[in-house]
C-alpha cells in the first residue's frame, strides 16, 4: 500500500485470506470459470505484502538486497501480472457466459496482453539498478524507473498512447463480458484509474494498486451471487 509498511502488511493480512475464501466459493459453487477472477484479492494481498517489504527496506536506510527484490516484485505485479491475469480471467468467464465470437476475441486479447506484459517487465528485471524506489514529498511510494532505456517499457510507462493501451488491456475485457457484475467491476477499475491519474499521477503505480486492492473485495460478492450458486 502506498502509505506505510504497517498499512501494506495489514492490507495483505486481510486480502490474502479473502482471496482464498473467494476461490473456495467459486469451487463450492462449481464455477471454475470464475476461479481466476476469484483469486484476484489473493494476488493483490501478495502484492501488498511485497510493498510492505519495500517500505521496510526504505525505513531501514534502503536495506539491500531487500529493497531491490521487493521493488522488482511489486513491479512484476504492476507491469506484468495484472496485464496478463485480468484478460485471461475475462476469457475464462466468457467461456460460459458469452458468444463464441467474443471468446475468440478475448483469447487473442489475452495472448497479445501476455506478450506485451512480459516485454514491459523484462527490461526492469534485467536492469535492477535502474529501479530506484523512494518516498515522495507527499508520503507516497514512488518506483522511479526514469533511467531505464527501453523502447517498449518507456512507451507503455510514459507515452499517453502506451498508457491507454495498458489500461485498455485491463479494463476492456471485463467491460466486454455480458456478466453485469463483472462489467461493473471493470467500470470501477476505470474510475480508479481516472481518480489516481488526477490526484497522484507521479506515484500512480502504488496508489492505483491500492485502489484496486480495495475494489478486489467486490470479487467475493461477484462469485457468491445466487445466480452463480450451483451447490
Rounded to an integer, what distance in angstroms lies between the CA atom of residue 202 and that of residue 176? 30
Cell of 155: 512507451
pLDDT for the residue numbered 159 = 74
pLDDT for the residue numbered 229 = 66
pLDDT for the residue numbered 86 = 96
pLDDT for the residue numbered 231 = 43
Question: Is 78 within 8 Å of 117 (Cβ atoms)?
Answer: no
Does the predicted TM-score (pTM) go above 0.85? yes
pLDDT for the residue numbered 147 = 79
Going along the chain from its start, the domains and CATH numbers come out as 5-228 (1.20.1070)
Q: What contacts 107, CB < 8 A, 6 or more positions away?
A: 91
The candidate with the shortest Cα–Cα distance to 83, out of 184, 9, 29, 157, is 157
Tens-digit pLDDT string for the chain (231 aa) = 557 788 889 889 989 999 999 999 999 888 999 999 999 999 989 999 999 999 999 888 887 889 899 999 999 998 999 999 999 999 999 999 999 999 999 999 999 999 999 999 999 999 988 888 877 766 677 788 877 877 877 777 767 788 888 889 999 999 999 999 999 999 988 888 887 777 765 556 666 666 777 778 889 999 988 877 654
Q: What angle do CA 18, 94, 209 make, to 5 degrees?
A: 40
Amino acid at each position: 500500500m502506498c502509505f506505510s509498511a504497517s498499512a501494506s502488511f495489514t492490507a495483505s493480512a486481510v486480502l490474502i485470506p479473502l482471496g482464498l475464501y473467494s476461490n473456495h466459493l467459486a469451487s463450492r459453487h462449481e464455477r471454475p470459470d470464475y476461479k481466476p477472477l476469484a483469486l484476484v484479492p489473493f494476488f493483490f494481498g501478495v502484492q501488498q505484502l511485497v510493498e510492505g517489504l519495500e517500505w521496510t527496506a526504505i525505513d531501514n536506510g534502503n536495506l539491500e538486497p531487500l529493497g531491490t527484490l521487493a521493488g522488482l516484485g511489486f513491479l512484476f505485479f504492476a507491469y506484468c501480472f495484472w496485464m496478463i491475469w485480468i484478460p485471461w480471467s475475462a476469457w475464462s468467464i466468457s467461456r460460459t457466459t458469452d458468444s463464441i465470437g467474443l471468446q475468440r476475441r478475448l483469447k487473442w486479447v489475452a495472448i497479445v496482453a501476455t506478450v506485451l506484459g512480459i516485454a514491459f517487465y523484462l527490461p526492469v528485471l534485467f536492469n535492477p539498478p535502474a529501479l530506484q524506489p523512494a518516498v515522495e514529498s507527499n508520503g507516497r511510494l514512488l518506483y522511479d524507473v526514469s533511467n531505464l532505456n527501453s523502447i517498449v517499457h518507456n512507451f507503455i510507462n510514459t507515452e499517453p498512447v502506451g498508457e491507454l493501451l495498458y489500461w485498455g488491456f485491463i479494463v476492456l475485457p471485463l467491460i466486454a463480458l455480458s456478466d453485469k457484475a463483472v462489467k461493473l467491476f471493470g467500470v470501477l477499475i476505470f474510475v480508479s484509474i481516472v481518480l489516481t491519474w488526477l490526484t497522484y499521477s507521479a506515484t500512480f503505480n502504488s496508489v492505483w494498486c491500492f485502489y484496486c486492492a480495495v475494489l478486489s473485495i467486490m470479487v467475493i460478492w461477484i462469485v457468491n451471487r445466487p445466480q452463480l450458486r450451483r451447490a
